[in-house]
């Protein structure tokens, strides 16, 4: 998204996305609760460019669901591995990472183990994951002087997700 929306089209001054996932668990009655997750994104732009920024961002999500290119995967791996190194520099970041590991995995994952996992990820694994975890609904929140058409970019993506478009 950063490369396309900001660098190629110059639509925003800041754009990012991240994920939040929760492992399978049990509720108070002991019933299994499946794993859940969400993708969060942000783009800072002008009101005049807001609709185009949103539309292009949604197109990038569509592209991600259809699959990445090898060069994109390799750039992602380098970016994640760089983040791991930088995370070691901040006690706050390291503490957050350790707490997250303990909560989600029930243990602390050594950095070397995570690096091995990252390096082993293939394009086929990502495609298989998206094929079996198609987004079911979209929640789009925009802040600005005029409302945006949030579902416009998904009108032609019925093959990606049949779900709520809000």
What is the pLDDT, as a whole number, of residue 160?
35
What is the pLDDT, as a whole number, of residue 135?
66
Of 13, 21, 18, 65, the closest CA to residue 41 belongs to: 18
Alpha carbon distances (Å) from 119 to 79, 91, 122, 138: 12, 25, 8, 30
| Structure tokens belonging to residue 111 | 């950095």
Tens digits of per-residue pLDDT, 10-34?
999 999 888 777 777 888 898 988 8
| 51, 59 Cβ separation under 8 angstroms | no
pLDDT in single tens digits along all 166 residues of the chain: 788 898 899 999 999 888 777 777 888 898 988 877 777 889 999 999 999 999 898 888 777 767 678 898 999 899 988 988 888 888 998 898 899 889 888 899 998 999 999 999 998 888 888 777 766 666 788 888 888 886 443 333 333 333 344 4
């Amino acid at each position: 998204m950063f490369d396309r929306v900001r660098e190629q089209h110059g639509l925003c001054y800041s754009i990012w996305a991240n994920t939040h996932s929760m492992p399978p668990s049990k509720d108070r009655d002991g019933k299994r609760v499946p794993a859940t997750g969400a993708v969060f994104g942000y783009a800072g732009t002008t009101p005049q460019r807001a609709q185009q920024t949103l539309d292009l961002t949604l197109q990038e999500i569509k592209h991600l669901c259809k699959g990445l290119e090898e060069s994109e995967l390799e750039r992602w791996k380098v970016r994640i591995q760089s983040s791991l190194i930088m995370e070691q520099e901040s006690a706050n970041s390291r503490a957050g990472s350790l707490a997250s590991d303990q909560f989600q995995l029930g243990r602390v994952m050594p950095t070397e183990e995570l690096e091995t996992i990252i390096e082993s990820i293939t394009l086929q694994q990502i495609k298989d994951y998206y094929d079996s975890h198609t987004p079911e609904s979209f929640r789009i929140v925009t802040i600005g002087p005029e409302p945006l058409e949030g579902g416009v970019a998904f009108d032609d993506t019925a093959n990606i997700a049949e779900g709520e478009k809000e």
